[in-house]
């Protein structure tokens, strides 16, 4: 490995370590249901575009019950989920080529162990909204943990393929929950 | 101090004062839980994310996979404190339970695995809630609420699925496939290992007792609640 490549690799590990350390400090789900700001709309548009999907309207979801219902609608976009999965697989291949599969998985496992604690944030947000639904807290925590894993993968792969996950994570970091594309609309809670 | 059913071992350090066979017995249980929790997450929970029919269920399954993996981590950490080599606490180093040899193919199968296997897990963990080795007892207390949620998830999703004729057939087919493997989950009748566990209060019940409890509770769920048929199987492993 050249000095430049080694420097890039060291920088990627440092970025993931910083990212992992920041996770517990973020205000998870703190802005759900509030009006969409221009920066949130822009991040959602970048997320959809980076997945290679056609532009779609960005719409707000106002409450936890509506969020749960949206995530269970039968007309959710299979293309959206497939695009994310394809992106994850590409990033995993790139990351494994860069660092080796086992070190890559070890770093992602450490990240996932930290992300496992995010349920507290989801449960607190639900409690603040007066909603008693432990399953929904787990759904939200699962979505957030998936986004952390994807963002970590993007950092380790160090390629433009990960732009979608960077934009998606921006939404979570802003206290939101992107619910994906349902019925042709990208919903942001 | 020697361990007996009446003298709990309060810490990993105190394990050094216990008889050799007590230490070996506890190691065997910790190792088995560490391996099987990881196997379950890899073979069932992670693949089920792709099979789940909605984003809601995909994210919920994602969370369940993380919790099962988290159980592995907790047992592995306890094992490490006890000096168990890491290689003995992963599926690569240990033979898995037979149920893990059948890869998941459908969402209905996953829901049935949670219904059946997580109930079996609850019965095992319930027994550890009175374990004489306190670190293991404490671990059982911590994991129990999540195991209960996973089992309830199996019940809730199967209840939803059996509302349609097609769903009923698929859930019944999955029960027919997985249920016959379940009695073996509790170990052999007249097991020497189990006798040792009970001698020292590590476990409270015989394998036969736990298996009978499982069969009663699962019959209530499958035949009483879901109104499906439980296949006939040999009850003794």
Tell whether A5 is covered by a domain: no
**H helix or E strand, kind and range, residue B97:** none
**Cα separations in angstroms, A158 against A2, B52, B83, B219, B226:** 16, 30, 38, 52, 50
Q: Are strands A178-182 and A185-188 parallel, antiparallel or unpaired?
A: antiparallel
Residue A180 lies in a domain: yes
Give the span between the Cα atoms of A44 and A189, in whole angstroms. 11
Give all strands (DSSP E) within chain A, no chain letters: 58-60, 178-182, 185-188
Contact indicator for A58, A47 with CB cutoff of 8 Å? no
Half-sphere exposure of A17 (CA within 13 A, CB side): 6
Q: What is the dihedral of CA A105, A108, A114, A120, to 10 degrees?
A: -110
**Is A13 domain-assigned?**
no
The answer to whether position A155 is within a domain reads: yes
- Answer yes or no: is A9 within a domain: no
Give pTM, 2 decimals: 0.92
Rounded Cα distance, B192 and B28, in Å:
13
Q: How far is CA A142 from CA A36, A81, B6, B190, B222, in A?
A: 23, 15, 42, 42, 29
Packing angle, helices B165-178 and B107-128, rounded to 10: 50
Q: What is the pLDDT of residue A61?
A: 98
Cβ separation B60–A142 shorter than 8 A: yes
What integer is the mean pLDDT of A161-182? 97
ipTM above 0.90, yes or no: yes
Interface test with A, best of B66, B68, B157 (most A CBs within 10 A): B66
| Per-residue pLDDT band at A7 (split at 50, 70, 90) | confident
Cα-based angle A162, A105, A82 (whole degrees, multiple of 5)? 45
Measured between alpha carbons, how far apart are the two ends of chain B, in Å? Answer: 36
Tens-digit pLDDT profile for residues A126-165: 999 999 999 999 999 999 999 999 999 999 998 888 999 9
Q: What sections of chain B are H helices per DSSP?
A: 20-40, 46-51, 55-81, 107-128, 134-161, 165-178, 192-199, 207-219
- pLDDT band at B1; cut points 50, 70, 90: very low
* Interchain pair A142, B149: CB under 8 A: no
CA distance to A23, B9, B127, per residue, from B141 (Å): 27, 16, 11
Contact (CB<8Å) B149/A73? no
- Taking the Cβ of residue A108 and every Cβ of chain B, the question of whether any pair is shorter than 8 Å is answered with no
Can you tell me the distance from the alpha carbon of B145 to that of B160, in angstroms, rounded to the nearest whole number? 22
Cα(B85)–Cα(B70) distance, rounded to whole angstroms?
19
Q: Are A143 and B19 in contact (CB under 8 A)?
A: no
Tens of pLDDT, residue by residue over A45-84, are 999 999 999 999 999 999 999 999 999 999 999 999 999 9
- Report the number of distinct structural domains present in chain A: 1
CB B180 within 8 A of CB B200: no
Q: Is the dihedral of CA A128, A25, A92, A168 positive or negative?
A: positive
Query: Which of these, B132, B107, B131, lies nearest to B7 by C-alpha position?
Result: B132
Is A76 domain-assigned? yes
From B55, B63, B69, residue closest to A141, measured CB to CB: B63
| Distance between CA atoms of residues A160 and B123, nearest Å | 49
Q: Do B60 and A139 touch (CB under 8 A)?
A: yes
Q: Which domain holds residue A144?
A: 29-188
- Per-residue DSSP letter, B120: H
Query: Cβ separation of A135 and B60 shorter than 8 Å?
Result: yes
Residue A58 pairs with which residues in a beta bridge? A186
Do the domain assignments include residue A22?
no
Percent of residues, chain A, with pLDDT higher than 70: 98
Note the CATH architecture for domain B13-225: Up-down Bundle (1.20)
- Minimum mean pLDDT range among A1-5, A81-85, B154-158: A1-5
Domain boundaries, chain B: 13-225
- How confident is the model over B212-229, as pLDDT tens digits? 999 999 999 999 999 999
For the stretch B74-117, pLDDT in tens is: 999 999 999 999 888 887 766 666 666 778 999 999 999 999 99
> How confident is the model at residue B235, as a pLDDT?
61
Closest-CA residue to A13 (of A122, A158, A176, A164): A158
Cross-chain residue pair A143–B61, CB shorter than 8 Å: no
Q: Quickly count: other Cβ atoms within 10 Å of residue A153's Cβ.
A: 25
pLDDT value at residue A113? 86
Residues of A in contact with B114 (CB under 8 A): none
Chain A nearest C-alpha distance from B126 (Å): 22
Residue-wise pLDDT for B165-212, tens only, equals 999 999 999 999 999 999 998 999 999 999 999 999 999 999 999 999
pLDDT tens digit sequence for A87-100: 999 999 999 999 89
Half-sphere exposure of A168 (CA within 13 A, CB side): 29
Looking at residue B6, its pLDDT comes to 56
């Amino acid at each position: 490995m050249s000095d430049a490549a080694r420097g890039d690799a060291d920088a990627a590990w440092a970025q993931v370590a910083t990212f992992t350390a920041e996770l517990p400090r973020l205000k998870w789900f703190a802005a759900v249901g509030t009006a969409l700001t221009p920066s949130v709309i822009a991040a959602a548009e970048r997320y959809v575009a980076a997945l290679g999907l056609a532009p779609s309207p960005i719409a707000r979801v106002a409450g936890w019950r509506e969020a749960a219902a949206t995530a269970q609608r039968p007309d959710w976009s299979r293309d959206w989920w497939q695009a994310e999965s394809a992106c994850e697989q590409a990033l995993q291949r790139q990351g494994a080529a860069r660092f080796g599969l086992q070190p890559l998985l070890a770093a992602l496992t450490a990240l996932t162990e930290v992300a496992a604690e995010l349920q507290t944030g989801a449960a607190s947000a639900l409690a603040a909204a007066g909603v008693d639904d432990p399953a929904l807290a787990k759904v939200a925590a699962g979505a957030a943990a998936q986004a952390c894993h994807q963002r970590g993968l993007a950092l380790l792969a160090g390629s433009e393929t990960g732009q979608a996950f960077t934009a998606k994570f921006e939404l979570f970091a802003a206290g939101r929950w992107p619910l994906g594309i349902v019925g042709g609309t990208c919903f942001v809670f | 101090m020697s361990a007996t059913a009446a003298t709990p071992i309060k810490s990993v350090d105190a394990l050094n004062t216990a008889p050799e066979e007590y230490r070996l017995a506890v190691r065997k249980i910790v190792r088995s839980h560490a391996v099987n929790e990881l196997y379950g997450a890899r073979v069932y929970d992670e693949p089920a994310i792709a099979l789940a029919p909605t984003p809601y269920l995909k994210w919920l399954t994602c969370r369940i996979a993380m919790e099962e993996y988290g159980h592995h981590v907790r047992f592995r950490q306890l094992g490490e404190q006890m000096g168990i080599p890491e290689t003995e606490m992963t599926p690569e180093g240990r033979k898995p339970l037979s149920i893990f040899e059948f890869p998941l193919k459908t969402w209905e199968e996953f829901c049935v695995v949670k219904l059946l296997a997580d109930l079996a897990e609850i019965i095992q963990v319930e027994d550890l809630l009175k374990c004489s080795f306190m670190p293991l007892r404490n671990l059982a207390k911590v994991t129990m609420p999540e195991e209960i949620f996973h089992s309830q998830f199996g019940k809730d999703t199967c209840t939803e699925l059996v509302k349609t004729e097609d769903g009923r057939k698929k859930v019944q087919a999955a029960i027919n496939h997985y249920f016959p493997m379940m009695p073996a989950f509790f170990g052999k009748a007249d097991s020497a290992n189990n006798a040792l566990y009970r001698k020292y209060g590590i476990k409270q019940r015989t394998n036969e007792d736990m298996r009978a409890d499982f069969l009663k509770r699962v019959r209530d769920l499958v035949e009483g609640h879901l109104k499906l048929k439980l296949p006939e199987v040999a009850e003794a492993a």
